[in-house]
């Protein structure tokens, strides 16, 4: 069984930033990459809203982060964590597909995954017209028509953002009314670029020459189908935190996001969390990077506090002190 000072679960921006800071703190962290190296950002075609990175792809940004972390001594294991045992406290038992580890401190950056429609063409055209982040990809649809799938706050917020670029934004919702807060609904209905397609679902994403061309829609009341022309399909039907291995071990909110304090500490001493596994709001590279930095610094501080030298007690002196009569009251 391999012993480690710090293990980081997840290799997105939060995880690689935590690795960089932990490595610079001489902790020689081990990053266990997980099923998708780089996390969600590795699926983003181009990134222009991360400071200091004015243009490039998601994979390019992740590769730069990896190289920087490894330069200072971080190590990367392209494996998947199968289980963790936090019940006995530090050191924590971590089992992967190929190894078992004992980690003195653990930083969880396993992220969250956008909920898929699970329809034909969705995976095939992800990054080529299908997107789960309007803030990330909206610019690339300047002057084009897009559809947004969903009816909650995220769907409406992203639709409003997309109107800065797209010529039209059609919100497709399976019900006959939105679930978003009233103020957002009012803004969307007042926006001349936004229209609504009610009681409808997407059954297939259709493309040609590597790009999305249309979405096959089905009206839930009439059963009628149509191939609706569009250049982009933005899907906002929720996110699912990648929390399975932490169930009944870390405290989570009602949506499954790990609860942390301002120092990124979880409910288990010595376990920290950063990025979208604990962030239900922002879901940006920049915020995840800041959280990863904070988690690593907090972990380093926690480890240092455990290693502070204790003043040795001479047995003879301790016995002599204990034999002294109690002071008079």
Query: What CA–CA distance (Å, rounded) separates 232 from 213?
Result: 8
**Structure tokens of 37?**
């190296």
Q: Which residue in the block uniquely carries the two structure tokens 């008079």?
A: 328
| Sheet (strand 200-208) strand order | 200-208, 211-219, 225-229
Q: What residues are annotated to the active site?
A: 133, 136-137
* Structure tokens that stand for 21 in this block: 């800071």
The angle formed by the CA atoms of residues 200, 203 and 206, to the nearest 5 degrees, is 120
- DSSP sequence for 48-87: -SBTTB-S--HHHHHHHHHHHHHHTT-EEE---EEEEE-T
Distances in Å between the Cα of 104 and the Cα atoms of 19, 64, 86, 128 are 15, 28, 11, 42
Please name the residue that has the structure tokens 């061309």.
Answer: 213
Residue 185: its H or E element: helix 182-190
* Residues in the chain, total: 329
Interstrand relation of 75-77 and 200-208 (parallel, antiparallel or unpaired): unpaired
Q: Which two tokens stand for residue 200?
A: 């409808």
């Amino acid at each position: 069984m391999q012993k480690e000072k710090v293990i980081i679960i997840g290799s997105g921006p939060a995880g690689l930033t935590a690795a960089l800071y932990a490595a610079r703190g001489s902790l020689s962290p081990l990053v266990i990459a997980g099923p998708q190296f780089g996390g969600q950002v590795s699926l983003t075609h181009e990134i222009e809203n991360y400071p200091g990175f004015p243009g490039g792809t998601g994979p390019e940004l992740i590769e730069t982060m990896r190289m920087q972390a490894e330069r200072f001594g971080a190590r990367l294991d392209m494996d998947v964590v199968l289980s963790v045992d936090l019940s006995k406290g530090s050191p924590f038992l971590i089992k992967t597909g190929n190894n078992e580890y004992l980690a003195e401190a653990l930083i969880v950056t396993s992220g969250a995954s956008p909920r898929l429609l699970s329809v034909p063409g969705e995976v095939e055209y992800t990054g080529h017209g299908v997107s789960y982040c309007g803030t990330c990809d909206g610019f690339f649809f300047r002057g084009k028509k897009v559809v947004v799938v969903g009816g909650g706050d995220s769907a409406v917020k992203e639709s409003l953002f997309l109107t800065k670029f797209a010529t039209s934004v059609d919100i497709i919702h399976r019900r006959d009314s939105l679930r978003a807060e009233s103020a957002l609904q009012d803004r969307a209905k007042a926006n001349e670029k936004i229209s609504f397609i009610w009681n409808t679902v997407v059954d297939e994403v259709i493309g040609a020459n590597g790009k999305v061309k249309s979405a096959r829609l089905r009206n839930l009341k009439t059963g009628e189908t149509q191939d609706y022309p569009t250049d982009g399909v933005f899907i906002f039907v929720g996110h699912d935190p990648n929390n399975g291995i932490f169930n009944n071990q870390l405290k989570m909110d009602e949506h499954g996001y790990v609860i942390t304090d301002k120092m990124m500490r979880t409910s288990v001493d010595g376990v920290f969390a950063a990025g979208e596994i604990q962030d239900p709001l922002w879901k940006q590279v920049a915020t995840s990077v800041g959280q990863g930095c904070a988690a690593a610094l907090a972990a380093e501080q926690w480890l240092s506090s455990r290693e502070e030298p204790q003043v040795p007690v001479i047995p003879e002196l301790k016995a002599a002190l204990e034999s002294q009569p109690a002071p008079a009251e």
